[in-house]
Chain A
């Protein structure tokens, strides 16, 4: 009995020490992680800027850029913390605010985020970057003459097509402008499936609510809100003025897609079907470039083209918008706020920064003064050309009520594709949800 007690005592002690060790290890890691991210620490640092950003894809490159900046400005120390992907970022940002560890620079998405954090956002209209920002990229972060954020980059989407398959099928992509043109092309592809070695013309990932609710719908809703995300943000209702076209386009994609669409997801769409030449077209944007390149570098570089989504009155235009903004926390000390602004300015307006933004980040710049920079990937390049020529549709979906695009519209469209409800009911459900959210 005594022996037993002795052992359980040891066990308890071990457990306790492991718990304590765990704690100290955890906190130790955090601070050292911060320092190493910030590069050489330098004992004489006057200002420390904490950056909390969400874009996992460019974490390494971003930290490299930060080190470059620190070398040039030895009195500034920048700590970068990256937390991945959409939802997680929002949650951890909230956590850091409620726990008092507020970052100095962080990211916001649409106008909803801006309103939520408005009390923390510093006016950045005095920066060079804000002056250089392209027309329309600042609308969703402007509040009575104040500019509260700086755009990350631009993104755009449309129908990505496999140039080789189109060529073999004898289709001239540049001639496709209207829904009828597209339909004819799709039917032509479908009739030659065997010879072309494809499974279907499209891969339509109806499992991903964002592909339908955000992007597909946006093409047909932009006109209704005058391409202005703020107008969508303030609208009491949504009318689906182009609902018929939206239905037609949804039907076309799902009917001529690899089946069953409802369990087809993003990675299958891009990797398995498009990159491997299993389908001729997918509705996606420039963000898929790296994924395709990791599957087949040559294909990504030379064989991917971009077709606009056919929208009546906007033939030959593609939706282009700013997915995210950098914002500066005004609760920080004045010198930190200034250092934060300087850093963002340097990143987007200095020669070194510009080069890095286009070459390493592979961004489509949302700023003027990039004429002499080479945009790295062909999809982005094509989108930048559309944007320069002004052939764009707005990104209004960020102005929809929180989660509306996915949980109201996306879900309803899935039900429609499953045959449970009619298209009229999709519009009805989505409109009701919008109105309820805006009451």
Chain B
């Protein structure tokens, strides 16, 4: 706190300026516009909470929120399980460690849009061909139903992000003091007990970070959604971000879309903050 001198603020200026211009000011503007009938060109009337009242009565928006929540729950679970699993795998003393880490991390370097198209090809064409050869009915017609669309998105996201989460877990796993592991070995703990009682509590901070990341990320997903299913069939795999973009740019209801975005922001903020609060509390206890 003491070093908040002139130079401190001077160094901070570019960041504050940047953040202010591209995040804070537009956010305030947007919040304001959500109470008007702004159509993207002019805002004529101040209409109070009308937009907010309407959006809670709109099935499509509610469906997209519900779909996003389901998606977030499943992906957060899967991502953390896979992430931790992969991290445990590549922190064992094996020669291929670095290679494996690179391979697992790689999908994360491909843009979401391209990944979506790649997986679309896999789900539609490759799955179809495999089904034709092996006769497994379940591989036919992927992405043409709501369920397969949902699982398609989950698989894509898990595959893309697991490597990233893995990196976070690796960082914490490698910081677990060797002597603690050794001590537990001497005390006669088996591998399972060691993981549960020693390693797991020590990587708890990693959970806070990855839970926050995965949660906010799976809520905000857009590009993968766009290229993989484009909301189809019949807009049933449309996530909130996409619903908002559609309202704004296809339906041309800018202010209404803005009010949806505000609600969306509130939901994500509340969930993410609560989650960080509880995880932090647990960390302190450990």
26 contacts between A and B (CB under 8 A): A15-B14, A16-B13, A16-B14, A19-B14, A19-B18, A20-B14, A87-B249, A88-B249, A91-B249, A94-B254, A116-B39, A116-B41, A207-B230, A259-B141, A260-B144, A262-B144, A263-B142, A263-B144, A263-B232, A402-B250, A402-B252, A403-B252, A407-B235, A412-B234, A418-B145, A418-B234
Mostly, the B contact residues are loop
Distance of A417 Cα from B144 Cα, bound (Å):
10
Distance of A20 Cα from B18 Cα, bound (Å):
10
Judge whether B251 and A262 touch: CB under 8 Å.
Answer: no
Of all chain A residues, the one with the shortest Cβ separation from B121 is A268
Judge whether A406 and B250 touch: CB under 8 Å.
Answer: yes
Q: Which residues of A contact B251 (CB under 8 A)?
A: 402-403, 407
How many pairs of residues, A versus B, come closer than 8 Å at their CB atoms? 81
Say yes or no: is B140 at the interface (Cβ < 8 Å to chain A): yes
Judge whether B143 and A263 touch: CB under 8 Å.
Answer: yes
Q: Which residues of B contact A207 (CB under 8 A)?
A: 144, 230, 232-233
Of all chain A residues, the one with the shortest Cβ separation from B124 is A263
Contact A9-B11, Cβ < 8 Å, known A91-B249, A403-B250, A403-B251: yes
**Which size class do B's interface residues fall under?**
20 to 34
Most chain A CB within a 10 A radius of its CB, from B14, B141, B248: B14
Contact A414-B234, Cβ < 8 Å, known A97-B41, A259-B141: yes
Judge whether B14 and A12 touch: CB under 8 Å.
Answer: yes
Select B41's contact among A94, A206, A261, beta carbons within 8 Å.
A94
- In the A-B complex, the 6 residue pairs with the closest CB atoms: A262-B144, A16-B14, A260-B144, A414-B234, A263-B144, A94-B40
Most chain A CB within a 10 A radius of its CB, from B123, B233, B251, B254: B233
A108-162, CB < 8 A from B = 112, 116
Select B141's contact among A15, A263, A403, A420, beta carbons within 8 Å.
A263
**Which size class do A's interface residues fall under?**
35 or more
Judge whether B144 and A415 touch: CB under 8 Å.
Answer: no
Say yes or no: is A364 at the interface (Cβ < 8 Å to chain B): no
Judge whether A98 and B249 touch: CB under 8 Å.
Answer: no
Say yes or no: is A90 at the interface (Cβ < 8 Å to chain B): yes
Contact with B along A254-269 (1 / 0, CB 8 A): 0000011111000010
Say yes or no: is B186 at the interface (Cβ < 8 Å to chain A): no
Select A90's contact among B13, B141, B233, B249, beta carbons within 8 Å.
B249
Q: Which residues of A contact B41 (CB under 8 A)?
A: 94, 97-98, 116
Say yes or no: is B133 at the interface (Cβ < 8 Å to chain A): no
Say yes or no: is A196 at the interface (Cβ < 8 Å to chain B): no
Q: B residues engaging A (CB < 8 A)?
A: 11, 13-15, 18, 39-41, 123-124, 140-145, 230, 232-235, 246, 248-252, 254
Select A415's contact among B40, B123, B234, B252, beta carbons within 8 Å.
B234
Contact A407-B250, Cβ < 8 Å, known A259-B141, A260-B144: yes
Q: How far is the CB of B134 from chain A (nearest CB, A)?
A: 18
Q: Which residues of B contact A9 (CB under 8 A)?
A: 11
Distance of A406 Cα from B249 Cα, bound (Å):
13
Select A262's contact among B13, B40, B145, B252, beta carbons within 8 Å.
B145
Say yes or no: is A51 at the interface (Cβ < 8 Å to chain B): no
Distance of A104 Cα from B6 Cα, bound (Å):
48
Q: Which residues of A contact B145 (CB under 8 A)?
A: 262, 418
Q: Which residues of A contact B252 (CB under 8 A)?
A: 90, 112, 116, 402-403
Q: Which residues of A contact B250 (CB under 8 A)?
A: 87, 402-403, 406-407
Distance of A94 Cα from B145 Cα, bound (Å):
36
Contact A262-B233, Cβ < 8 Å, known A98-B40, A407-B246: yes
Distance of A259 Cα from B144 Cα, bound (Å):
10
Given contacts A20-B14, A262-B141, 14 further A-B contacts (CB under 8 A): A15-B15, A91-B40, A91-B249, A94-B41, A97-B41, A116-B252, A207-B144, A260-B141, A262-B144, A262-B232, A263-B232, A402-B251, A406-B250, A407-B250
Most chain B CB within a 10 A radius of its CB, from A9, A15, A116, A411: A411
